[in-house]
């Protein structure tokens, strides 16, 4: 997104690591996400060659644009796009039953084995969540996500189907507030 930052907003951003702008229409500081909860957590910042423009690299907690899009410029979300790519690979393996790939072998064993594997990975993730090794935790989270995508495919559904349900639940919660 693009926003105006004055000296005071810049100082607050650095102090809190939450991107804060100066709203010229409201004539006050405005932290992105103060009403929506979609905060931009500052990871790094850079000044341009003329020293008149700042570039913030952030970790958003939700959509960046007020329209609900990832960006205000209709740019694709590369990380979410990777999940779509992974789903496509999984679906390709599903149709290649004769393949020697691990994924194809799970599909060949059937829904019970796939569901069992999701359960095993979920338990392993819970175990790692109780320890302090973030690398092991993230690897187990990746294993669970991968096997979850296989299970969705085995049930002829997709991550998008799940996202639509979550979006609908989110709309219901907002309307009840």
Determine the Cα–Cα distance for residues 142 and 124; give it in Å rounded to an integer.
Answer: 11
Confidence at residue 173, expressed as pLDDT on a 0 to 100 scale: 64
Distance (Å) of CA 15 to CA 34, 50, 76 = 16, 24, 30
pLDDT digit string, tens, across residues 23-53: 999 999 999 988 888 899 999 999 999 989 9
Mean pLDDT of the chain: 89
Answer whether residue 94 shows pLDDT above 80.
Answer: yes
Quick one: 53 and 13 in the same domain? yes
Give a yes or no: residue 71 inside a domain. no
- For residue 177, pLDDT over 60 is answered with no
Whether residue 92 is contained in a domain is answered as yes
What CATH number should be reported for the domain holding residue 25?
3.10.20.810
**Are 84 and 124 found together in one domain?**
yes
Reported as a single tens digit per residue, the pLDDT across 60-84 is 888 888 887 778 887 776 666 788 8
pLDDT at 162: 92
Q: Please say if the pLDDT value at position 95 is more than 80.
A: yes
Residue 67 located in a structural domain: no
- Measure Cα distances from 68 to 1, 40, 65, 122, 123 in Å: 12, 14, 6, 30, 33
The per-residue pLDDT for 68 is 78
Segment 129-140 mean pLDDT: 96
């Amino acid at each position: 997104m693009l926003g105006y930052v004055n000296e005071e907003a810049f100082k607050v951003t650095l102090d809190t690591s939450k991107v804060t702008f100066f709203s010229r229409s409201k004539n006050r500081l405005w932290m992105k996400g103060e009403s929506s909860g979609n905060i931009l957590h500052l990871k790094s910042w850079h000044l341009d060659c003329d020293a008149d423009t700042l570039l913030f690299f952030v970790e958003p907690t939700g959509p960046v644009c007020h329209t609900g899009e990832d960006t205000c410029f209709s740019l694709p979300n590369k990380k979410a796009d990777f999940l779509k790519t992974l789903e496509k690979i999984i679906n390709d393996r599903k149709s290649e039953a004769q393949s020697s790939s691990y994924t194809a072998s799970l599909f060949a064993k059937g829904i019970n084995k796939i569901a069992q594997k999701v359960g095993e990975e979920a338990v392993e993730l819970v175990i790692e969540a109780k320890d302090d090794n973030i690398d092991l935790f993230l690897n187990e989270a990746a294993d669970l996500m991968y096997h979850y995508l296989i299970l969705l495919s085995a049930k002829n559904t997709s991550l998008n189907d799940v996202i639509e349900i979550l979006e609908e639940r989110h709309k219901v919660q907002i309307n009840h507030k």
